[in-house]
């Protein structure tokens, strides 16, 4: 039982920064130094360290930078390898597993042990790995590291335990899959080719056994040489030397022909009867030019030659287009008889694979689908229909359809919200898909018992919002919202705003959603806010637009010494931003010199528009240009449906909007909020003299916000200004402030963005401000951008990932060391019932404001309670009350009652404003309040306020404003994300730091419960998208295309096995087709081939130890458990094996009986012939 002491109400401190910010609060469980007359508060803290464990749960989305593809035709599961060493294994919806190689080396090739529950991966570090898929979390059983040769191609015949491995030197090695030991049998390149050949044939690019005889191995070399190697005789049957380089080879199922694809865009068909020249040469996309020559074509990277009983063979290949058709998209060509179908793809083709009915390569293949792995998508084409439609993909592979710019995660949502969103979103689904079931249907998955409604929201660069059903560790698209439909389409080259934000002016910066009231708010990169209400009915509506002038007229200085020496005073209210309503964006708003003023960045549609059911826009708030300077990015937002209020802030100040009455209640600079309670005793400076100075466009950041396919920084978000060496050195000197995130005079962080301080001045021509680009030869500027004042290196000419992966911080936690100009940004806002002043006896609606300097302000409000009065009477906002202090930028607020329970924000119950009126039941606002005093009659009045900053967490007792507990979270790093979440029927503070640590603190005592070094390196993408939610879950964008979900709850870790799907299910291997009595009895060469006899240690000897090194795999405890306790699976396998053996014995018995019958018939006919010819003379025949 934790005993907390409540300080007497009205106890004052010597100064706003006195007791609260004093060192007496610096201990992990400190109390104020003033001795109170306490009344004991009992809070039972139930959370302990054993309640927490961090582990990954599931990964959603498309595998980033895919490299390889494999399919098990019996188990019907698909594997995708990636450049970062990841492997995604997919089955039926719900069966989705992610594995990661510890080395991080790119996956070159994947090979399933068909129907065995195992997978072989070949990586770029020349290592083979064997994965066990018979457990829910696959693990590596064996690894084999090649030391002297590089792996280029692998082939594993069906029902074989010997893996053929081709290398860059042209040699072919053989690996035993069971022991993962190299065989002594090696096919050396110089033995495979003729001795008279003077050149090296190149790396092995193809290996396959002949469908006619498994004892014959076809080896394809890159130079164009093809060799069929007799494994028994250890010699070449034939050799083919072709002029064009080979990319792939595919057999006809009868084993008499094979087809090759070449680098000149040709396909060659070879007949084994005559290998001196190709049987057929075709250029599928090459036309004959006027001079009689074929036009040059791109290489055909892969070809597959598949036969069908009911139709002509399929020849499917990628590439091969002519070079003269510039700008054509990547294609997959399907040749079926004389018909040629060219399928254009949105992205380059990485790999494709034809899915066939049989796993046997010597049977008619019967292809039914082709899986195409693109750089950013996975599609499956239906081959059974003549128009080749695609299957509807059940996996969430389109998360990155437009780059993700923000995320939000909501666990334990109202149960009715998911079906409603799904029903609305289902009306807008695309059509034209194949009617057949998704062919990748392997594995088993059942809905676990530990499930509850979860929703993930993603915001994107094109302004779209996607709602996803994330219940039961799956992910399914629910509803898509396009925020760009609110605005008129910007005309090309229209004004300076269009010039600077031409690519993604609607990009989503943050979202706020109230699931109970279904009110949704979106903040965009163009300093705009859109408020949506949900309705099940379509409507004709006109969007209301409010325009806010939130730009300071003077600069806030936090340097007392400078102010004392140079006291300057401006007019009262000179630095208070003024609201403006309904300013049309017309040229009339420009000054005579051409400077933009009082113009928003985007134009809202001013006509009545028809909106479909779903989220319908009600209000748009836009910040205005001021004196040629663009509005600053919005850094914080909160909305409360019970109050009908919306608050937002940026580096200049804060604004409060009444969205019910569509009015602006408050628009004030941060400095004005303090009044006389400013802890820094700042004075204002005189207004800016040069109003026409060019400012960098501060709606920056999408070049840092997300990674796109272009390998350049988007210059449309910034002006790389040419500076003289002197100016550059001055600005670089400015950037050395330990507290100011300025680099080259640019605004770098929403939490401390200067509006005009430290900007380079550019000479003005008669045409107004002139933007210049950085000239060649100059060093690239360093920019920075982060929601938490992070500094990021951005070399201009690096790849897309380099923009995100550099992550550092240079900032002092002491506010007393601030020694230069800076803006105090509003970093977080929170509405709630609280006590605005120490003297308050009852809680009232308040707005909590947190700033980048660690200051917390409380703004009390008076809101009419009656519905009619609320729509007519104004909401009054009182002067700011309490001023609290923390180290560094404030990130999060939360409120607890005096028994330690979380106080939810009040909300309005959802009502459909477009529903038909019911005279018997008039629609009235139904509000749900959670007053601090409602659940604690025995504990008295008051509540606890939890405040977390980038370095520190504090718990204050309200209304006395006493600091009960303080915990310094980190000194060497800083907190990126902090949330108060419910775990195990209690609450805790969860934090994610820039150094990759995930930690939890108990509430209210702030005891450390968990501290795990989870991510070794944090980049901008993770910092931007990491978010916690209730139930011990969190997520982040692990790559530009994938969402990684994790849990920090021990209970969920224990139940994770139940929630994951099974990759392997016991399935009987299909029988081989009956090849006929004569073929089976007399021509059974393929079935008498014994690889063990050839490749085993007894016959081939041991391989050189220096050639490859065997590494035992970390099978893990789960693998041991599966091996020990997986009796059901083992019994099933044993039963299937017995059944197969019994069937084979039955077939042998039938064959023996047939032979006996044939022998008896032959004996009978011979006896009859003997009797007939018995008495005849020789001359009678």
Q: What is the pLDDT of residues 730-748, one digit of tens each?
A: 333 333 333 333 333 333 3
Q: What is the pLDDT of residues 1107-1117, one digit of tens each?
A: 888 888 776 44
- What per-residue confidence (pLDDT) applies to 173? 95
Q: Residue 285, class by beta-carbon neighbours within 10 Å (0-12 exposed, 13-18 middle, 19+ buried)?
A: buried
Among 514, 536, 539, 538, which residue's Cα sits nearest to residue 424?
536
Peptide bond into 879 cis (omega under 30): no
d(CA 643, CA 829): 14
- C-beta of residue 330 within 8 angstroms of C-beta of residue 345: yes
Encoded tokens for 200: 């090296």
Encoded tokens for 285: 């996309």
d(CA 44, CA 38): 18
Q: How many CB atoms lie within 10 A of CB 794?
A: 22
Q: What is the pLDDT of residues 338-349, one digit of tens each?
A: 899 999 999 999
Q: What is the pLDDT of residues 146-155, one digit of tens each?
A: 998 999 999 9
Average pLDDT of span 952-974: 93
Among 771, 767, 770, 772, which residue's Cα sits nearest to residue 594?
767
Q: Specify the pairing of strand 927-928 against strand 118-123.
A: unpaired
E-only strand ranges, 360-403: 367-374, 378-382
Q: What is the pLDDT of residues 972-986, one digit of tens each?
A: 999 999 999 999 999
**192 pLDDT exceeds 60?**
yes
d(CA 902, CA 932): 10
User: What percent of the chain has a predicted confidence (pLDDT) above 90?
Assistant: 50
Please state the separation of Cα 361 from the chain's center in Å.
Answer: 38
Question: Could you tell me which residues are beta bridge partners of residue 300?
Answer: 319
Q: What is the pLDDT of residues 544-569, one digit of tens each?
A: 999 998 876 544 444 333 333 333 33
E-only strand ranges, 814-961: 826-834, 844-851, 855-862, 876-877, 883-885, 890-896, 907-908, 927-928, 943-949, 952-958
d(CA 600, CA 268): 63
Q: What is the pLDDT of residues 48-90, one digit of tens each?
A: 999 999 999 999 999 999 999 999 999 999 999 999 999 999 9
* pLDDT interval class at 174 (50, 70, 90): very high
- What per-residue confidence (pLDDT) applies to 1134? 60
**How many helices and strands (H and E) does the chain possess?**
16, 65
Which three-class secondary structure state does DSSP give residue 352?
A: strand
Q: What is the pLDDT of residues 785-843, one digit of tens each?
A: 333 333 333 333 334 444 344 444 433 333 333 333 457 899 999 999 999 888 888 89
Sign of CA dihedral 673, 677, 680, 685: positive
Q: Which residue has the higher pLDDT, 939 or 237?
A: 237
* pLDDT interval class at 849 (50, 70, 90): very high
d(CA 275, CA 258): 11
- What per-residue confidence (pLDDT) applies to 681? 67
Cβ partners under 8 Å of residue 786, min gap 6: 704, 741, 748, 749, 750, 792, 1020, 1023, 1024
Please report which residue ranges of 645-801 form alpha helices under DSSP H.
670-674, 702-705, 725-734
Encoded tokens for 709: 């396919």
Please state the separation of Cα 711 from the chain's center in Å.
Answer: 19
Which residue bears the tokens 């510890």? 102
d(CA 261, CA 317): 8
- What per-residue confidence (pLDDT) applies to 4? 40
Encoded tokens for 544: 């209301």
Question: Could you tell me which residues are beta bridge partners of residue 86?
Answer: 100
- What per-residue confidence (pLDDT) applies to 1088? 61
DSSP assignment of 922-973, as one string?
-----EE---TTTT-TTT-S-EEEEEEESSEEEEEEETTTEEEEEEE--SSS
* pLDDT interval class at 193 (50, 70, 90): confident
d(CA 1066, CA 1137): 11
CA atoms within 13 A on the CB side of 847: 34
Encoded tokens for 610: 């028809």
- What per-residue confidence (pLDDT) applies to 570? 33
* pLDDT interval class at 103 (50, 70, 90): very high
Q: Quote the mean pLDDT of the chain.
A: 78
Which three-class secondary structure state does DSSP give residue 1059?
A: helix
- What per-residue confidence (pLDDT) applies to 1156? 81
**1035 pLDDT exceeds 70?**
yes
* pLDDT interval class at 1019 (50, 70, 90): confident
Please report which residue ranges of 102-217 form alpha helices under DSSP H.
189-192
- What per-residue confidence (pLDDT) applies to 828? 96
d(CA 329, CA 335): 19
């Amino acid at each position: 039982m934790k005993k907390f002491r409540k300080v007497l109400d009205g106890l004052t401190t010597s100064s706003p920064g006195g007791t609260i910010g004093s060192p007496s609060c610096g201990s992990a469980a400190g109390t104020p130094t003033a001795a109170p007359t306490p009344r004991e508060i009992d809070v039972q803290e139930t959370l302990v360290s054993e309640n927490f464990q961090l582990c990954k749960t599931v990964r959603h989305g498309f595998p980033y930078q895919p490299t390889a593809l494999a399919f098990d035709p019996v188990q019907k599961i698909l594997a995708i390898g990636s450049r970062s060493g990841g492997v995604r294994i997919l089955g039926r919806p719900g069966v989705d597993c992610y594995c990661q190689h510890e080395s991080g080396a790119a996956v070159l090739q994947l090979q399933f042990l068909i129907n065995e529950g195992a997978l072989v991966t070949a990586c770029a570090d020349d290592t083979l790995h064997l994965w066990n898929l018979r457990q829910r979390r696959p693990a590596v059983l064996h690894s084999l590291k090649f030391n002297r040769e590089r792996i280029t191609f692998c082939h594993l015949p069906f029902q074989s335990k010997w893996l053929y491995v081709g290398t860059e030197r042209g040699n072919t090695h053989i690996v035993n899959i069971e022991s993962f030991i190299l065989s002594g049998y090696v096919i050396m390149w110089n033995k495979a080719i003729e001795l008279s050949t003077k050149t090296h044939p190149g790396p092995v690019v193809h290996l396959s056994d002949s469908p006619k005889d498994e004892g014959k191995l076809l080896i394809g070399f890159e130079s164009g040489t093809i060799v069929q190697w007799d494994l028994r005789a250890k010699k070449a049957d034939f050799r083919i030397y072709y002029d064009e380089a080979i990319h792939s080879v595919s057999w006809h199922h009868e084993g008499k022909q094979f087809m090759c694809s070449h680098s000149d865009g040709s396909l060659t068909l070879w007949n084994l009867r005559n290998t001196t020249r190709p049987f057929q040469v075709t250029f599928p996309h090459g036309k004959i030019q006027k001079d009689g020559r074929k036009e040059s074509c791109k290489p055909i990277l892969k070809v597959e030659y598949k036969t069908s009983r009911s139709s002509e063979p399929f020849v499917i290949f990628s590439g091969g287009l002519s070079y003269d058709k510039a700008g054509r998209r990547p294609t997959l060509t399907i040749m079926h008889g004389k018909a040629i179908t060219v399928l254009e793809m949105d992205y380059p083709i990485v790999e494709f694979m034809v899915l066939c009915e049989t796993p046997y390569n010597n049977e008619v293949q019967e292809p039914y689908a082709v899986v195409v792995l693109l750089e950013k998508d996975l599609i499956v084409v239906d081959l059974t229909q003549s128009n080749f439609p695609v299957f509807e993909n059940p996996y969430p592979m389109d998360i990155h359809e437009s780059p993700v710019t923000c995320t939000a995660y909501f666990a334990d949502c109202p149960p009715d919200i998911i079906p409603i969103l799904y029903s609305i979103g289902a009306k807008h689904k695309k059509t034209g898909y194949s009617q057949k079931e998704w062919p990748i249907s392997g594995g088993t998955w059942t809905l676990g018992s530990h499930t509850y409604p979860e929703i993930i929201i993603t915001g994107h660069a094109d302004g779209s919002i996607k709602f996803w059903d994330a219940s039961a560790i799956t992910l399914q698209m629910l509803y898509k919202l396009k925020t760009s439909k609110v605005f008129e389409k910007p005309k090309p080259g229209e004004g300076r705003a269009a010039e600077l934000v031409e690519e993604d002016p609607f990009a989503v910066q943050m979202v706020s959603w109230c699931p109970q009231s279904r009110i949704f708010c979106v903040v965009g990169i163009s300093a705009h806010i859109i408020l949506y209400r949900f309705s099940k009915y379509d409507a004709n509506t006109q969007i209301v637009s409010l325009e806010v002038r939130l730009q300071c007229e003077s600069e806030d200085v936090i340097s007392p010494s400078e102010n004392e020496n140079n006291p300057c005073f401006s007019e009262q209210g000179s630095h208070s931003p003024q609201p403006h309503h309904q300013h049309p964006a017309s040229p009339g708003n420009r000054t005579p010199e051409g400077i933009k003023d009082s113009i928003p960045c985007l134009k809202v549609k001013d006509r009545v528009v028809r909106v479909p059911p779903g989220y319908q826009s009600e209000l748009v708030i836009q910040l205005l240009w001021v004196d040629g300077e663009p509005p600053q990015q919005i850094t914080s937002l909160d909305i409360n449906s019970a109050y009908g209020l919306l608050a937002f802030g940026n580096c200049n100040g804060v604004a409060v909007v009444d969205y019910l009455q569509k009015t602006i209640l408050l628009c004030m600079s941060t400095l004005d909020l303090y009044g006389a309670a400013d802890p820094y005793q700042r004075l204002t400076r005189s207004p800016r003299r040069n109003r026409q100075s060019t400012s960098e466009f501060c709606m920056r950041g999408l070049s840092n916000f997300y990674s796109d396919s272009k390998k350049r920084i988007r210059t449309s978000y910034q002006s790389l200004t040419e500076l003289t060496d002197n100016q550059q050195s001055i600005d670089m000197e400015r950037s050395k402030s330990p507290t100011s995130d300025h680099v080259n005079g640019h605004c770098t962080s929403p939490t401390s963005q200067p509006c005009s301080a430290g900007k380079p001045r550019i000479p003005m021509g008669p045409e107004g401000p002139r933007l210049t680009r950085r000239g060649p030869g100059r060093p690239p500027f360093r920019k920075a951008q982060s929601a938490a004042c992070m500094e990021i290196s951005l070399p201009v000419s690096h790849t897309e990932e380099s923009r995100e992966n550099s992550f550092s911080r240079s900032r002092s936690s002491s506010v007393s060391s601030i020694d230069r100009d800076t803006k105090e940004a509003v970093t977080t806002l929170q509405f709630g019932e609280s006590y605005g002043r120490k003297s308050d006896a009852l809680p009232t609606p308040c707005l909590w404001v947190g700033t980048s300097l660690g200051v917390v302000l409380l703004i009390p409000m008076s809101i009419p309670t009656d519905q009619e009065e609320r729509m007519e009477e104004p909401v009054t906002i009182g002067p700011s009350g309490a001023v609290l202090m923390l180290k560094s930028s404030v990130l999060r607020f939360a409120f607890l009652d005096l028994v330690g329970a979380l106080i939810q924000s009040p909300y309005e119950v959802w009502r459909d404003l477009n529903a038909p009126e019911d005279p018997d039941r008039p629609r009235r606002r139904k509000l749900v309040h959670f007053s601090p005093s409602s659940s604690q009659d025995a504990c008295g009045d008051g509540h606890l306020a939890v405040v977390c900053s980038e370095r520190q967490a504090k718990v204050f007792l309200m209304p006395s404003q006493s600091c009960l507990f303080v915990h310094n979270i980190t000194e060497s790093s800083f907190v990126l994300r902090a949330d108060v979440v419910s775990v195990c029927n209690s609450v805790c503070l969860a934090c994610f730091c820039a150094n990759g640590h995930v930690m939890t603190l108990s509430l209210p005592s702030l005891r450390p419960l968990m501290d795990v070094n989870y991510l070794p390196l944090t980049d901008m993408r993770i910092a931007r998208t990491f978010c916690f939610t209730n139930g011990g879950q969190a997520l982040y964008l692990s790559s530009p295309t994938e969402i990684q979900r994790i849990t920090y709850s021990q209970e969920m870790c224990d139940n994770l096995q139940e929630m994951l799907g099974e990759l392997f299910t016991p399935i009987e291997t299909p029988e081989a087709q009956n090849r006929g009595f004569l073929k089976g009895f007399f021509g059974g060469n393929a079935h008498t081939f014994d690889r063990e006899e050839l490749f085993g240690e007894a016959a081939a000897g041991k391989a050189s130890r220096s050639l490859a090194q065997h590494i035992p795999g970390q099978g893990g405890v789960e693998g041991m458990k599966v091996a020990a306790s997986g009796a059901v699976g083992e019994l099933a396998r044993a039963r299937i094996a017995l059944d197969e053996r019994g069937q084979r014995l039955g077939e042998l018995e039938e064959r023996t009986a047939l032979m006996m019958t044939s022998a008896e018939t032959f004996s009978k006919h011979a006896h009859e012939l003997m009797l007939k010819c018995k008495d005849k003379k020789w001359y009678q025949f």
